[in-house]
């Protein structure tokens, strides 16, 4: 398959490209990435000889048309992704997430190319903290933040292009990922690298908010399964049934790094902070036979901590600027 991977120099996209090179050497991969603050060439260094990297904007219609015309399928990861950044300045989120997806849809429509669109569970809003309800493929959209609203808008465009133009597309909405190459602005890498650089971890509010954590390789194995076997026009929810409160995750990190579990600061909470996300992955398991491989959270977290400890050259050039930005927001 000739694959175009947008956002392939970001966290999940780079892991997807690396695992595809390993597991599907028959595929030809082109990455389209704007190399924003969140993208890095070095995340693709281990596979640089096997992949073509094109630096460019997914909202650049001429470039996207050219690249799409030369591929069999597109896996669309490119997006602005950090909720706190969206709260400070929503504009790039509208550009990359909404206009970028629109641009891609027009190109796949013109060239009859298969699209898999990567989305998030945040489009469904949040759930009660103490409830047992989980998101399913039929949960109504109810986004809370500029980020999740822009992703919801993108998903709606994909659905409309499927229905109106018969575009061959699938959508997946996944829960919170963790693993190698995640930007240090995000929760788990931020806390790990705070400890590694002698800073104290920072917890928003009381830390009661719940996220449903999945290892990035499990997200990507599900994406590949959907790309190969998913039904056209379908939406699939990806999750590993691993709900944890933020304080529980933070204290697990402190314990695994040999620190006192109370050695952290409570900081200003996020505006409009979603309480709880939880995915019901039954459809993916029953229809496509997908199950996650990283089922021991402590083991996967330990391996992730080890990766950050072993790869300071990848994240340390980013760290001070990220912490300066957080400090200005009281976080």
**CA 61 to chain CA centroid, nearest Å:** 24
| Region of 92-100, 103-111, 185-193, 237-245 interacting with ligand DAU (CB under 6 A) | 185-193
| Residue among 118 and 162 whose Cβ is closer to ligand NAD | 118
Exactly one of 114, 202, 219, 225 binds ligand DAU (CB under 6 A); that residue is 202
Nearest residue to 191 (alpha-carbon basis) of 259, 288, 280: 259
Indicate if 122 belongs to the active site.
yes
Instruction: Catalytic residue, from 124, 147, 181, 308: name it.
Output: 147
**H/E element holding 64?**
helix 61-69
Establish if 220 lies at the interface with ligand DAU (CB under 6 A). Answer: no
Q: Please tell me the distance from the alpha carbon of residue 69 to that of residue 82, in angstroms, as a whole number.
A: 31
Residue 203 in the binding site for ligand DAU (CB under 6 A): yes
Q: Half-sphere exposure (CA, 13 Å, Cβ side) for 182?
A: 25
Shortest gap between Cβ of 280 and ligand DAU (angstroms)?
14
Question: Any residues with CB less than 8 A from the CB of 301 and at least 6 apart, and which?
Answer: 178, 188, 249, 252, 253, 256
Per-residue interface string for the shown chain with ligand DAU, residues 103-122, x marking contact by CB under 6 A? -----------------xxx
Measured on CA atoms in the order 30, 36, 38, 39, is the torsion positive or negative?
positive
> Per CB under 6 A, which region of 66-74, 127-135, 182-190, 313-321 contacts ligand DAU?
182-190
Residues making up the chain, counted from first to last: 331
Q: Reply yes or no on whether 121 is catalytic.
A: yes
Contact residues toward ligand NAD (CB under 6 A) are 6-7, 9-13, 32-36, 38-39, 57-59, 77-81, 96, 100, 118, 120, 151, 174, 176-177, 183
Question: Closest distance between ligand NAD and the C-beta of residue 32, in Å?
Answer: 6
Q: How far apart (Å, rounded) are the C-alpha atoms in residues 281 and 194?
A: 33
Residues 169/114, Cβ–Cβ less than 8 Å:
yes
Stretch near ligand DAU under the rule CB under 6 A, chosen from 81-89, 108-116, 127-135, 287-295:
81-89
* Rounded Cα–Cα distance for residues 164 and 50 (Å): 37
# binding residues, ligand DAU (CB under 6 A): 19
Residue owning tokens 């190319």: 113
Binding site for ligand DAU (CB under 6 A): 81-83, 120-122, 175-176, 186-187, 190, 202-204, 209, 211, 246, 270, 277
Active site residues: 121-122, 147
């Amino acid at each position: 398959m000739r694959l175009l991977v947008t956002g392939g120099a970001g966290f999940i996209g780079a892991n997807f490209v690396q695992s595809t090179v390993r597991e599907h050497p028959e595929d030809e991969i082109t990455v389209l990435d704007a190399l924003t603050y969140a993208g890095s060439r070095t995340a693709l260094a281990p596979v640089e000889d096997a992949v073509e990297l094109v630096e460019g904007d997914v909202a650049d219609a001429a470039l996207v048309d050219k690249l799409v015309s030369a591929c069999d399928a597109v896996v669309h990861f490119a997006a602005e992704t950090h909720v706190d950044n969206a709260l400070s300045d929503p504009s790039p989120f509208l550009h990359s997430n909404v206009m970028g997806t629109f641009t891609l849809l027009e190109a796949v429509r013109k060239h009859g190319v298969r699209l898999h669109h990567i989305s998030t569970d945040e489009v469904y809003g949040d759930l009660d903290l103490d409830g047992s309800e989980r998101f399913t493929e039929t949960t109504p959209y109810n986004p809370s933040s500029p980020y999740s609203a822009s992703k919801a808008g993108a998903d709606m465009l994909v659905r409309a292009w499927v229905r109106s133009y018969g575009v061959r597309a699938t959508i997946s909405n996944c829960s919170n990922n963790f693993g190698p190459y995640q930007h240090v602005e995000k929760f788990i890498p931020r806390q790990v690298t705070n400890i590694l650089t002698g800073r104290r971890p920072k917890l928003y509010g009381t830390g009661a908010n719940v996220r449903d954590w999945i290892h990035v390789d499990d997200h990507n194995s599900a994406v590949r399964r959907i790309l190969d076997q998913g039904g056209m026009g379908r939406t699939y929810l990806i999750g590993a049934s691993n709900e944890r409160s933020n304080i529980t995750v933070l204290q697990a990190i402190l314990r695994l790094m040999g620190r006192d579990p109370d050695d952290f600061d409570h900081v200003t909470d996020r505006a409009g902070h979603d309480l709880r996300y939880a995915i019901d992955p039954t459809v993916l398991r029953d229809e496509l036979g997908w199950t996650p491989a990283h089922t021991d959270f402590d083991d996967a977290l330990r391996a992730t901590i080890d990766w950050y400890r072993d790869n300071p050259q990848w994240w340390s050039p980013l760290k001070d600027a990220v912490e300066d930005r957080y400090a200005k927001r009281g976080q």
